[in-house]
Amino acid sequence: METTAQAAQPIPVPERDRGYYNLLSYIVSNAIAGEIMAIENYSEMVQLMPTPEEKIETVGQAKEECKHILLLAKLGHRLDFGVQKRIVEPQWNNIRKHFSAAVAKGDLPACLIIQDLMTETMAIMLYRTLGKQEDTDPTTAQLATNILADELEHLGIGIARIKKLLAKDPDAVHDSLVWAHHRVMPELFSMISTSCHFLCDDLNVDCGSLSLGEIRNDIESLRVQALEQYIDTLDKVGFDTTVTNALVASMASYREMDRHVLGLRAGGGEAAACCGPAAAAGEGGPAKSCC
């Protein structure tokens, strides 16, 4: 459960230059694209839900993602920066394609893993970053904090659903995880960057001028946070760590991923894959060798 910050000294809000708003324009447009994809994913998943109650819950999730789009678009309007209310970057469409393939196969675990775990994990990292008032601005931070609460709830729903499926058929769910990881995670991690295919042109901003320094961040630390969040999620579900460690280790091959982010030695050899705090502490089994 997220805790709210204690009321203390008001945080000084720095004056923001055009670069900051260009960066917000880029990030918020990408966030909207992710929300549009989420609407489509949740909606397409409804037909696979086994009971009317679960269908209704899933429609409710789609509806919340709709609300996020409207709020994010309104933020752009309020702070006077441009946003795109459509999917521009191709990675989102690739993830959608993989999700649709899972639906076509009737693979509910894969759908839940892609949307409720993988995509929500990224969304959580994004809204956590934007929710830090000292790094962004009060309006953006407040909105991001509100959206974050919904996304955390969605993650919780996803974890509960997958745990249930895992209890029924662990082999099939692990197969779905492996498939989804190899299809989707490279796409998601490639989006932790300030480069783009078409979005900057669409927004009329100079891609080269975008700097995460505007929000006191850098790409590498965001990747580390995303990885930690992902590993933590995998741990919370209770996937077999033999499987998840191999998956995490495989991420070293991503073009964007520095090996030391994953805690791997430069020359390979005795690599200790990353694992979350629960596995490291030995919950549900012996403590793992973690990075």
The answer to the question of residue 50 lying near other proteins (CB under 8 A) is: no
Shortest separation between residue 40's beta carbon and other proteins, angstroms? 5
The interaxial angle of helices 170-190 and 90-104, nearest 10 deg, is 170
114 closest CA partner among 186, 52, 51, 66: 186
Q: Does residue number 46 form part of the binding site for other proteins (CB under 8 A)?
A: yes
With b meaning 16 or more CB within 10 Å and e meaning fewer, what string describes 213-239? ebbebeeeebbbbbbbbbbbbbbbbbb
The yes or no reply on residue 69 touching other proteins (CB under 8 A) is yes
Assess contact for 61 and 157: CB atoms under 8 A: yes
Cα-flanking dihedrals φ and ψ of residue 135, to 5°? -100, -20
271 binds other proteins (CB under 8 A): no
Contact with other proteins (CB under 8 A): which of 16, 55, 163, 259? Answer: 55
Does residue 71 belong to the site contacting other proteins (CB under 8 A)?
no
CB atoms within 10 A of CB 61: 24
Provide, rounded to whole angstroms, the least separation between the CB of residue 44 and other proteins. Answer: 6
Among 93, 100, 211, 250, binds other proteins (CB under 8 A): 100
Could you write out the three-class secondary structure of 115-138?
Answer: HHHHHHHHHHHHHHHHCCCCCCCH
Site for other proteins in 101-140 (CB under 8 A): 104
**Which burial class, exposed, middle or buried, applies to 94 when counting CB atoms under 10 A from its CB (0-12, 13-18, 19+)?**
middle
Span near other proteins by CB under 8 A; candidates 51-59, 149-157, 168-176, 214-222: 51-59
Residue 76-95 contact track with other proteins, rule CB under 8 A, x = bound: ---------xx---------
CA pair distance 78, 21, nearest whole angstrom = 12
In this chain, which of 5, 18, 47, 97 binds other proteins, going by CB under 8 A? 47
Could you tell me how many residues of this chain bind other proteins (CB under 8 A)? 25
Neighbours of 39 (CB within 10 A): 17
Task: CB nearer to other proteins: give 67 or 260.
Answer: 67
Under rule CB under 8 A, residue 39 binds other proteins = yes
44 binds other proteins (CB under 8 A): yes
Report the interface residues with other proteins, using CB under 8 A: 32, 36, 39-40, 42-44, 46-47, 52, 55-56, 58-60, 62-63, 66, 69-70, 85-86, 96, 100, 104
